[in-house]
Amino acid sequence: MNKKTGAIAFRFNDPNVNQVAQIWSVGWEEQESTIYNWSGIERKDQEKYIFQYTLSGQGEINIDGKVHQLKAGHAFIVSSPGHYHYYLPEYSTKWEFLYVTLYGNEAKKCWEHVKRKGNQVVRFHPEAAPVKLVKQMYDDARERKITNAYQGSSISYQFIMELYLALSNVDKLMEDWSEGIISAALFARNYYQDEIGAEEMAEASKLSKYHFTRLFKQETGVTPIQYLTNIRLQKAIELLQHTKYSVEEIAQLVGYKNANYLNKITRKLTGKSPGQIRQGE
């Protein structure tokens, strides 16, 4: 796969806006060394609030002496400084994750709510709004769409509200898809731009292709290819409606070889051509 990992930091100088909610950093990392180890006590970034979501592999976090395993679909929420440390354990070969670090009064209130409810480590569905929004924040940051304090504050506040909403029904968050299916779904969501299909999704799930295909349909209600196609279609519609990219460019951005193939998909699933979708017909 084409690696899209990286980290982007923001240093907006607008006290009035920053005081409410602001983004400090956002990133997508894949760690393969046990040297990776962050201590909450030693962190220099004070009064920051971190949300980190595992995409694949496995990490661990020790919070107040209790160790939590962080497999695909698990997130942790911590403040800096704090009595925790997270790391790649010796038994794990990699840990891939998305993260966002926020600050401001609303971020602090959300953190206090999380700690009071005991929700520092939570399993989120791959389609949960906070998970999608972190990925959006990362993509926007890489594309340099977050250019001022107002944009940064707006998307940070939106994330905080989505987190409140998701955590209000935490029992439901812990149900639904199994670990292998979560891994495959997250793989599809993060690599849909590449030449991937059911076979690569099965590899991400670490299940046999036959067992994976059967289990994926059983748990999600659609086949792996249908799930991947829906992701690509949703992204294509978004790009058609909100950007000036050509249909050919959009086809390639969502993982299709050419505009003709994208045209077939949109006509089959929406009854409209890319041009009609763009024009709002």
The alpha carbon of 260 is separated from its chain's Cα centroid by a whole number of angstroms, namely: 30
pLDDT at 167 over 80: yes
Q: What percent of the chain has pLDDT over 90?
A: 86
80: which DSSP letter?
Answer: E
What's the confidence (pLDDT) of residue 281? Answer: 65
Asked if 22 and 149 count as a contact pair (C-beta separation under 8 A), the reply is: yes
- Report how far residue 172's alpha carbon sits from residue 153's, in angstroms, rounded to the nearest whole number: 29
What's the confidence (pLDDT) of residue 170? Answer: 64
Which residue type is seen at 27? G
What's the confidence (pLDDT) of residue 172? Answer: 59
Sign of CA dihedral 207, 214, 127, 268: positive
Sign of CA dihedral 202, 186, 95, 2: positive
What's the confidence (pLDDT) of residue 42? Answer: 86
